[in-house]
Amino acid sequence: MGKNDDNKKDSKDKVSASKDRKIEDMEDWRNEHGQPSFKFLQSLADDGSLTALEKLRSIAEDLDISYDLDTPIEELIGKIRSATRNDPTNTTT
């Protein structure tokens, strides 16, 4: 490859990395603002810490989901997923 080909490849790599970062930023924003992805919810459940559980409860409260302190994490995630699927503005899977 010549220098010109290398420059084109570098430019394509930079554009691709930029697009990937924008997608990650968008997913992070959705996860933090009431449209969490299943992957994010599952990561909180897998974490199992008090902080992660509080985050799940906070998401549930933001979505007006009823739950109590004895609600299992997987059930809470199911309720969150159901609420976000019923939201026509939700685009996260």
Is there a domain that residue 91 lies in? no
What is the pLDDT at residue 63?
A: 87
Is there a domain that residue 32 lies in? yes
What is the pLDDT at residue 18?
A: 67
The tokens 């080909």 sit on which residue?
5
Triad 31, 33, 36: Cα angle to 5°? 30
For 24-57, the pLDDT digits (tens) are 666 665 556 557 888 889 999 999 899 999 999 9
The whole domain housing 71 covers 3-85
Asked if 70 and 56 touch (Cβ cutoff 8 Å), the reply is no
- Residue 21 class from Cβ within 10 Å (0-12 exposed, 13-18 middle, 19+ buried)? exposed
For 5-24, the pLDDT digits (tens) are 665 556 566 656 666 676 56
Total domain count for the chain? Answer: 1
